[in-house]
Amino acid sequence: MVLIIGALGFSVVSGMQARVLRTAGGAPTLAIAVNASAYQLAAAFAGWFGGRVIDTLGVRSVYLVAAALTILGVAVSAFAWYRDRTATAATDYAEVPVA
């Protein structure tokens, strides 16, 4: 189980790095550094936030808060995917020459 969770976690990071490189423009090294820093900040925030949840709501509430944050993450990802898809479609139409 640990191997599966590790493989899934690694696949998310490499996908995010590829997306950052694709959209980085002229500063791919800076974009990767900022992305890695964001992961580290997220890990620190997760530990702090998890501790606050346990202190205020109790241990049993961790599952509910984790489910709510997962739903929020899926919603943000869906919005980013939709926005990226519509921006790509608008760019494709702009490249078509008008006769």
Interatomic CA distance for residues 48 and 55, integer angstroms: 11
The pTM for the full model equals: 0.64
First to last CA, the chain: 59
How much of the chain exceeds pLDDT 70, in percent? Answer: 88
Cβ atoms of 13 and 39 closer than 8 Å: yes
pLDDT at position 75 is 96
Segment holding 62, helix H or strand E = helix 61-95
| Contact of 38 with 20, CB cutoff 8 Å | no
Q: pLDDT tens digits for 7-53? A: 887 787 888 888 888 888 888 899 999 998 998 999 999 999 999 99
Tokens coding 60: 């049993």
